[in-house]
Amino acid sequence: MADYSSLDIRQRSASTEQPPTIRSHQEVAKLIDVSKCIGCKACQAACEEWNDLRDDVGVNTGVYDNPHDLTPKTWTLMRFTEYENPESQNLEWLIRKDGCMHCTDPGCLKACPSPGAIVQYANGIVDFIEENCIGCGYCIKGCPFNIPRISEVDRKAYKCTLCSDRVAVGQAPACAKTCPTGAIMFGTKEAMIEQAHERVEDLKSRGFDHAGLYDPAGVGGTHVMYVLHHADQPQLYNGLPKDPRISPLIAFWKGGAKVFGLATMGFAALAGFFHYVTAGPNEVAAEEEEEAIEVEKAAKNGPTNGTGTGAAARPH
Amino acid sequence: MTNLWMDIKHADVITVMGGNAAEAHPCGFKWVVEAKAHNNAKLIVVDPRFTRTASVADLYCPIRPGTDIAFLSGVAKYLLDNDRIQHRYVAAYTNAGYVVKEGYDFQDGLFTGYDPDKRDYDKTTWDYEIGPDGYAVVDETMQHPRCVMQLLKTHVAQYTPEMVERICGSPRDKFLKVCEIIATTSSPERTMASLYALGWTHHSKGSQNIRSMTIVQTLLGNIGMLGGGMQALRGHSNIQGLTDLGLMSNLIPGYLNLPIEKEPTYADYAAKRTFKPLRPGQVSYWQNYGKFFVSFQKAMWGAKATRENDWAYDYLPKLDVPTYDVIRGFELAKQGRMSGYVIQGFNPLLSFPNRAKMTEAFSKMKFVVVMDPLQTETARFWQNHGEYNDVDTKSIQTEVFELPTTLFAEEEGSLSNSSRWLQWHWQAQEPPGECRSDIEIMSGIFLRMKEAYRKDGGAFPDPIVNLTWNYAIAESPTPHELARELNGYTLAPIEAAGTQLPAGKQLDGFAQLKDDGSTACGCWIYSGCYTERGNTMARRDNTDPGDRGIAPNWAFAWPANRRVLYNRASCDPEGKPWSEKKKLIEWNGKQWVGFDVPDYGVTTAPEQGVGPFILNQEGVARLWTRSLMRDGPFPAHYEPFESPMANLAFPKVKGAPAARIFKDDLADLGTSQEFPHVATSYRLTEHFHGWTKHAKINAILQPEAFVEISEELAREKGIAKGSWVRVWSKRGSLKAKAVVTKRVKPLICDGKPVHVVGIPQHWGFIGHTRKGWHPNSLTPVVGDANTETPEFKAWLVNIEPTTPPSDAVA
C-alpha cells in the first residue's frame, strides 16, 4: 500500500535475497494504554480519514463495536468487553483498539507466497504491498491475531500499515496523533517500553496487581504493544491471544512442507533426466510421418462441412 | 467553569457526576487522564450507567436518575458529621455564621411562603437578620440556632447513608467510599474538581443539583483553588458565549437583566440593583451595575441614549412573565399565539421536549426561518418520512425558509469555551454555494426592517431606527467591528484608574466603564478582548509560568483575563497560599502577585478584611442563597415529575414545588403503573448532537439508534441483544435496537428494583446514519424553576420487543 521507497526493507515475502539496509534504524512502536483509553473511536475516524477508507454504514447489533469486524476498509477497530472482575466484584469495561500488531516475526510475511507482497521495514513495520499481492489469503492463515482481510473488489489483502507513509517522513501514525487522551503513543520501541513501565507502576498502585506490558515473545515481540490492567489474562480483552505463535502449519508449509515440495519437484526433474538418459528421446517413425502428410492434404482439399476443418481432418 | 480545562490536571480528586466527560468532552478529558497519570488523582464517577468515563474511573457508584440532591446532601452530612471540612475556609470565606431572619423555615419539603396555586414562593423571609448597623448579623461561633451552619446541619440531617441508598439506589458501601475519597480534599493541600454538564441541568431541579455540589465544594474549601472548582462543561463550542452575550429571553449581555413590567422607569430598575454591601467594607462589585448598564445602552443607541431619556431605558422591552423560554414559546405557538420562529443553529424539532407538541406547534405557525449550515429535521418537519415523521403534509400551511449559513471553519471570529476563553479563529476555507454568515443574514433582515420602520413608522420605531450601526459595510459587519463594540470604547475623554483616555479609544477593561455616558460597551465582562493594543483573543503564546495551567497570554479569558475565579480564596485570610504546591496568587506585603490575575483589589491588604467573593454583597460564598433561587435557599430532594417512587424525604411533596409546568403538559404526565421504567437521555462520543449524522465517518462509527437496558430487564421482557424494541411514554413512542448490557443494572430503591432505559440522542430522519428517533419523542415538558431547562434526564417509559420499522435492514 505504502510508498516504501523511503523506508529500508528488512524482510520481503517469498524472496531469498533481501535488499541491503544502508541506514541505521531504530525500531518504532505504538503503545496503546488500554487503561487510558475511553473507547471514543477517534482513532478509527483518523484511520479512515488518513487512509481515505469509507466502510459501509452498518447496523447496530446490540453492542458499541462498529463496524463489527476488521474489513478491507476498516483497519482498526475498538472492541468492547464487559467484564465482571470476580476478585473486586467490580464491572470493568475493557476497550481494546484492535489492528495489526506488526510482529517482529510476522506470520503473514512467512506465509506469503508472492514475492514482495509483504515486507518488513528496518524500523519494524510490516506492510502489505498490494501491487504484488495475489489474493491467496495465506497471510490470514499466517497471522496469529486474525488481522488481514481480502477485498472482494480487487482480491488484495489489506491491514493497518502503522501509517508507514507518515512514519517515513517523521510523523506519528494518524491514530496516535488523534487520540484525545494520549492512550495511543508512538516512538522508538525502547521509549515505549519505558513509558509502559511507568504506566504499569501507576496501575499497580491502583490495585491492578497483574498490570503489565503486552509484547508477546512468541512472535518475537510486536511493534504495537498494549498496557493491560490484566496482563496475566490478555484473552479478557476480546480474545487477545495469551501466547500468540505463528501457526505450525505455516512453519510446516514454509519449513518441512516447502523442503518436501521442492524435493519432490527435484525428484521429478531428476527422474525425467534419467529417463532421457536411459530411454533416449521420443522418435517419430517413417509411416507416422507419411500419414500425417496425407491428413494435411485431405484437410486442404476436402469439402468442409461448415463447422471448420478440425473434426473432418482429425486423424484416427 | 470557575477554573479552566488545563487546571483539572492539578486536581487530587475528580468527581464526574451529572455528566459524562469522557464521552461528551473527550478532548478536554485528557486533563483528567493527565491528573491520574501525573498527579495520582482518583477519579470518581456517579452515574445511572457505567459510562465511558466510568471505564477509566477508580470508583464507580450507580445512582437513580434525578436523585443527585439526596446523594450530595448525604455527602454534605458525612462531611459535617465526621468533621471533614476546611474549617478556616468555612469560617472566613462562607456565610456559615450568618444569622437568618426569624420566620424562615423549612417544613415537610416546603420553604416558608409557598403558594400552591402559583407554584411559587413569597421569598421575603429568605434573608439574613439585619442588625442595627444595617449589616447582616453574623455569629462567628456558628452556634446561633438560626445561623446558616446550624440550618445546614438540620437540613441535611435526614440524608443518612441508609436514606441515600433507599432514595438513590446507590449501594451504601459505594456511597461511603465516595464520601471518604471526597473528604480527603478537606485538607488545604488537596483539592477536588467537580465536572458536570447536562446530567445535572436537565432536571426539574437542575440548578439545585449544582447548588448541592457547590455546598460540598465550599465546605471542603475547594472553590478558588488550583485543581478545584465547579467545572461546568459546556456542550457546544460557543454555548458559553451564548449565555455570556445574554441570548436568554430575560438577559442582556454580561448577565444583566432585561427589565420587567414592574420596573417602568430606570429609577425603579436601578433601585433594585444597588447591591449594597451586606457586611462592612465589602466590595460587592455589582455596585457598578449602572456603569455596565449605561455603557451597554450607549453601545446600542449611542447619542440617542441620554441622561435625559434615562439612557433610552424605554427602548428595552419589559417582560410580563419571568422568561419567554422555549417551553413557553412552544406552548404559545401551540395555542396559536406565537406565529413565527427564526432559528439559528438549532434543531428544535429534535431538541425540545415532546416531539408531538413541537410538530403541532410548528404546524400552527405562519412562518419558520431556519438558518443553519446543515439540513435539519426542523426545516423538514412538514415532510412525511414514514413512521419516523408521520405528518399529514397537506394539512400544514407553515411557510419554511431555509437559509444556508457558513460553518465555523468558513468564517473568522471568536468562540467562548468552557474555560471562559474568548479564542479567535480564522477562516479555513470558502463557504460552498450561496451560504452567508449569520451576521450577514441578520444584518440583511435588520436593515430591511429598519427601512420599513423608517418609511412606514409604527407604534414605536425609535429602538430600531436609532440602533447604532456604524459598520464600514452595513450589510456585512466584520467580526472585528463587532468585537471592538463588545470590548467597549470611549465616547468622550475619560479618567479612570489613574489614566486618561481621549474619546474614540478602545477601553483596556471594564474598570474604565462610566455611568455618565462617556463609555460604550456591548458586554462588560468581555471588556479587554479588543483593546488599543489589538485583538487579545488572537493571542497564541502558551508560555505557562510555574506550570499552573494558566498560560495568561493565550487568548483572553473573561473577566479581566482571570483564569481561576475567586482565586483570592486560594490564600488564607493573611494572604498566604493554603498550599505552596497549589499557589495561584499571594500577598507580598504591598500587593497581590502570582500566576493569575487576582480576583481582588490588587493593593487591598489582607488585614482590611475584604472577603474573597467580591461579586457577592456578603463578600463570602453562600451555603444558603437568600432569595436568589426561585425554588429555595437550600437544595432539597424532590422526585422527577415522572418517577416510579414516592418522595421518601418529603412524602407530601413529590416533584419540585416551584418548577414550572403548564396545564396541558401536567395532564400529559404518565404514572409508574403504566410506565414502570426510568428513562434517561444522553450523548455518545461517536456523534456530536444532530450534526455528525451528516458525516459519513461518524455514521459508520455509530450507524443506528439504540437503547441500553440491563440483562435483567431484557430477560424479564424477552428482549434479545440487537433486536428491535419499542419504547413509549405518555407522549410518544419510538423504535430502536436493544443494547443489552451489564453496564446498566437495576437499582434497588427502597427495596424494589428500578430499571433504567438509556436513550442516546443522535438520530433523526435525515443524514448519513440510519433513520431513527430522538428521545424527545418521549420526554415531558417541565422546566427547572430557575432556568426552565427541560427534564430530559429522568422520565417514565415502558418497553417491549417489536418488529423492525418498515425500511429497516434485517
Q: What is the mean pLDDT of chain B?
A: 97
3-state SS track over B769-808: CCCCCCHHHCCCCCECCCCCCECCCCEEEEEEECCCCCCC
CA distance B78 to chain A (A): 24
Q: Does residue A244 have a known ligand-binding role?
A: no
C-alpha cell at B195: 465536572
Report the candidate in B323, B363, B362, B322 with the shortest Cα–Cα distance to residue B346.
B362
Q: Are residues A214 and A99 in the same domain?
A: yes
C-alpha cell at B192: 477536588
Positive or negative: CA dihedral B330, B332, B337, B338:
negative
Per the CB < 8 Å rule, is B696 touching A57?
Answer: yes
Judged by a CB distance cut-off of 8 A, whether residue A54 touches chain B is yes
C-alpha cell at B485: 463594540
**Which residues have C-beta within 8 Å of that of residue B696, sequence separation ≥ 6?**
A54, A57, B768
Can you tell me the distance from the alpha carbon of B419 to that of B558, in angstroms, rounded to the nearest whole number?
Answer: 9
Report the candidate in B362, B364, B365, B342 with the shortest Cα–Cα distance to residue B354.
B362
- Strand-pair partners of A28: A188
**Which residues have C-beta within 8 Å of that of residue A159, sequence separation ≥ 6?**
A70, A75, A99, A100, A108, A128, A147, A148, A149
Output the pLDDT for position A270: 79
**Which residues have C-beta within 8 Å of that of residue B646, sequence separation ≥ 6?**
B639, B654
SS3 A240: coil
Per the CB < 8 Å rule, is A40 touching B56?
Answer: no
pLDDT for B565-602, tens place per residue?
999 999 999 999 999 999 999 999 999 999 999 999 99
The domain in which residue A269 lies consists of 256-301
pLDDT for B608-651, tens place per residue?
999 999 999 999 999 999 999 999 999 999 999 999 999 999 99
A98: domain CATH number is 3.30.70.20
Can you tell me the distance from the alpha carbon of B78 to that of B100, in angstroms, rounded to the nearest whole number?
Answer: 24
Can you tell me the distance from the alpha carbon of B411 to that of B415, in angstroms, rounded to the nearest whole number?
Answer: 11
Residue B626 belongs to a domain: no
CA distance A147 to chain B (A): 19
Contact of B503 with B491, CB cutoff 8 Å: yes
User: Which residues on chain A are in Cβ contact (under 8 Å) with B709?
Assistant: none
Per the CB < 8 Å rule, is B50 touching A205?
Answer: no
CA distance B32 to chain A (A): 9
Q: b/e per residue, B534-547, with b = 16+ CB within 10 A?
A: ebbbbbeeeeeeee
Q: Are residues A84 and A187 in the same domain?
A: yes
Output the pLDDT for position A301: 61
User: Which residues on chain B are in Cβ contact (under 8 Å) with A195?
Assistant: none
Judged by a CB distance cut-off of 8 A, whether residue B705 touches chain A is yes
Q: Are residues A165 and A80 in the same domain?
A: yes
Q: Which of A38, A57, A84 comes nearest B769 by C-beta?
A: A57
Judged by a CB distance cut-off of 8 A, whether residue B41 touches chain A is no
Q: Are residues A107 and A57 in the same domain?
A: yes
Can you tell me the distance from the alpha carbon of B636 to that of B109, in angstroms, rounded to the nearest whole number?
Answer: 7
CA distance B9 to chain A (A): 12
Closest residue in B to A58 (Cα) is B703
Interface of A with B in 77-116 (CB under 8 A): 82, 84, 90-93, 95
Q: Does residue A100 have a known ligand-binding role?
A: yes
Residue at grid coordinates 440487537: B722
Residue at grid coordinates 430557575: B786
Report the candidate in B687, B742, B747 with the shortest Cα–Cα distance to residue B709.
B742
- Choose one of B235, B259, B289: the last residue of a domain: B235
Count of H-run helices and E-run strands, chain B: 20, 33
Residue A312 belongs to a domain: no
Angle at A42 between CA A47 and CA B548, to 5 degrees: 125
Judged by a CB distance cut-off of 8 A, whether residue B739 touches chain A is yes
Give the residue from B44, B682, B686, B807 with the most A CB atoms within 10 Å of its CB, the best one to mutate: B686
Share of chain B above pLDDT 70, in %: 100
Report the candidate in A205, A122, A230, A108 with the shortest Cα–Cα distance to residue A160.
A108
Residue B43 belongs to a domain: yes
Residue B71 belongs to a domain: yes
Positive or negative: CA dihedral A233, A236, A237, A240:
positive
Can you tell me the distance from the alpha carbon of A179 to that of A185, in angstroms, rounded to the nearest whole number?
Answer: 9
Count the domains in chain A: 2
Can you tell me the distance from the alpha carbon of A68 to that of A52, in angstroms, rounded to the nearest whole number?
Answer: 19
Contact of B191 with B12, CB cutoff 8 Å: yes
B760: domain CATH number is 2.40.40.20
Average pLDDT value for residue range B335-342: 97
Per the CB < 8 Å rule, is B739 touching A41?
Answer: no
Per the CB < 8 Å rule, is A66 touching B700?
Answer: yes
Q: Which of A45, A61, A82 comes nearest B742 by C-beta?
A: A82
Q: Which of B27, B58, B722 comes nearest A206 by C-beta?
A: B58
Q: Are residues A124 and A146 in the same domain?
A: yes
C-alpha cell at B163: 436514606
C-alpha cell at B597: 490575575
Can you tell me the distance from the alpha carbon of B10 to that of A304, in angstroms, rounded to the nearest whole number?
Answer: 98
Contact of B509 with B283, CB cutoff 8 Å: no
Q: Are residues A278 and A203 in the same domain?
A: no
Can you tell me the distance from the alpha carbon of B520 to that of B523, in angstroms, rounded to the nearest whole number?
Answer: 9
pLDDT for B721-736, tens place per residue?
999 999 999 999 999 9
pLDDT for B392-430, tens place per residue?
999 999 999 999 999 999 999 999 999 999 999 999 999
Judged by a CB distance cut-off of 8 A, whether residue B686 touches chain A is yes
Residue A157 belongs to a domain: yes
Residue A79 belongs to a domain: yes
Judged by a CB distance cut-off of 8 A, whether residue B144 touches chain A is no
Residue A289 belongs to a domain: yes
SS3 B688: coil
Can you tell me the distance from the alpha carbon of B530 to that of B321, in angstroms, rounded to the nearest whole number?
Answer: 36
Judged by a CB distance cut-off of 8 A, whether residue A66 touches chain B is yes
- Choose one of B206, B235, B264: the last residue of a domain: B235
Query: What are residue B300's phi and psi, to 5 degrees?
Result: -75, -45
Residue B750 belongs to a domain: yes
User: Which residues on chain B are in Cβ contact (under 8 Å) with A45?
Assistant: 697-698, 701
Rounded to whole angstroms, what are the CA distances from B94 to A248, B91, B152? 72, 6, 12
ipTM score above 0.90: yes
Judged by a CB distance cut-off of 8 A, whether residue A181 touches chain B is yes
Q: Are residues A49 and A192 in the same domain?
A: yes
Per the CB < 8 Å rule, is A62 touching B722?
Answer: yes
Output the pLDDT for position B81: 98
User: Which residues on chain B are in Cβ contact (under 8 Å) with A54?
Assistant: 696-697, 700
C-alpha cell at B417: 469555551
Q: Does residue A47 have a known ligand-binding role?
A: yes
Per the CB < 8 Å rule, is A39 touching B704?
Answer: no
pLDDT category of residue B808 using cuts at 50, 70 and 90: confident
Report the candidate in B681, B690, B140, B127 with the shortest Cα–Cα distance to residue B375.
B690
β-strands A118-121, A91-98 pairing: unpaired
C-alpha cell at B759: 436513550
Output the pLDDT for position B158: 97
Contact of B224 with B567, CB cutoff 8 Å: yes
B225: domain CATH number is 3.40.228.10
Judged by a CB distance cut-off of 8 A, whether residue B54 touches chain A is yes
HSE toward the beta carbon, residue B97, CA cutoff 13 A: 16
Average pLDDT value for residue range B371-378: 96
Judged by a CB distance cut-off of 8 A, whether residue B771 touches chain A is no
Q: Does residue A39 have a known ligand-binding role?
A: no
Q: Does residue A163 have a known ligand-binding role?
A: yes
CA distance B19 to chain A (A): 15
Taking 50 as the pLDDT cut, the residues of chain A under it are 1-4, 303-316
Beta strand residue intervals within B552-664, DSSP E? 556-557, 585-587, 592-594
Judged by a CB distance cut-off of 8 A, whether residue B770 touches chain A is yes
Average pLDDT value for residue range B105-128: 97
Residue B357 belongs to a domain: no
Can you tell me the distance from the alpha carbon of B692 to that of B706, in angstroms, rounded to the nearest whole number?
Answer: 16
**Which residues have C-beta within 8 Å of that of residue A245, sequence separation ≥ 6?**
A144, A218, A219
Per the CB < 8 Å rule, is B699 touching A57?
Answer: yes
User: Which residues on chain B are in Cβ contact (under 8 Å) with A66?
Assistant: 686, 700-703
Residue B37 belongs to a domain: yes
Count the domains in chain B: 2
Can you tell me the distance from the alpha carbon of A264 to that of B557, in angstroms, rounded to the nearest whole number?
Answer: 79
Per the CB < 8 Å rule, is B30 touching A37?
Answer: no
Positive or negative: CA dihedral A39, A45, A51, A53:
positive
Output the pLDDT for position A267: 78
Q: Are residues A236 and A264 in the same domain?
A: no
Residue at grid coordinates 493569575: B596
DSSP A210: T
Per the CB < 8 Å rule, is A66 touching B22?
Answer: no
**Which residues have C-beta within 8 Å of that of residue B38, sequence separation ≥ 6?**
B9
User: Which residues on chain A are in Cβ contact (under 8 Å) with B769?
Assistant: 57
User: Which residues on chain A are in Cβ contact (under 8 Å) with B53?
Assistant: 38
Q: Are residues A240 and A177 in the same domain?
A: yes
Angle at B544 between CA B543 and CA B548, to 5 degrees: 170
Query: What are residue A168's phi and psi, to 5 degrees?
Result: -60, -25
Give how far the C-alpha of residue B154 lies from the chain's centroid of Cα atoms, to the nearest Å: 29
Q: Are residues A291 and A261 in the same domain?
A: yes
Can you tell me the distance from the alpha carbon of B810 to that of B807, in angstroms, rounded to the nearest whole number?
Answer: 9
Residue A260 belongs to a domain: yes
Residue B40 belongs to a domain: yes
The domain in which residue B198 lies consists of 5-235
Torsion, Cα of A266, A271, A276, A281 (10° steps): -90
Residue A220 belongs to a domain: yes
C-alpha cell at B207: 440548578
Q: Are residues A276 and A225 in the same domain?
A: no
- Kindly write down the DSSP assignment for every residue of A253-283, as one continuous string: HHTHHHHHHHHHHHHHHHHHHHHHHHH----
pLDDT for B668-704, tens place per residue?
999 999 999 999 999 999 999 999 999 999 999 999 9
pTM of the model: 0.93
Length of chain B: 810
Q: Does residue A174 have a known ligand-binding role?
A: no
- Choose one of B235, B262, B283: the last residue of a domain: B235
Can you tell me the distance from the alpha carbon of B332 to that of B303, in angstroms, rounded to the nearest whole number?
Answer: 37
Residue B471 belongs to a domain: no
Closest residue in A to B55 (Cα) is A93
Closest residue in A to B742 (Cα) is A82
Q: Are residues A161 and A225 in the same domain?
A: yes
C-alpha cell at B667: 395532564
Output the pLDDT for position B806: 87
Judged by a CB distance cut-off of 8 A, whether residue B27 touches chain A is yes
Per the CB < 8 Å rule, is A38 touching B685?
Answer: yes
Per the CB < 8 Å rule, is B56 touching A49?
Answer: no
Residue A239 belongs to a domain: yes
Closest residue in B to A34 (Cα) is B56
User: Which residues on chain B are in Cβ contact (under 8 Å) with A91?
Assistant: 50, 60, 742-743
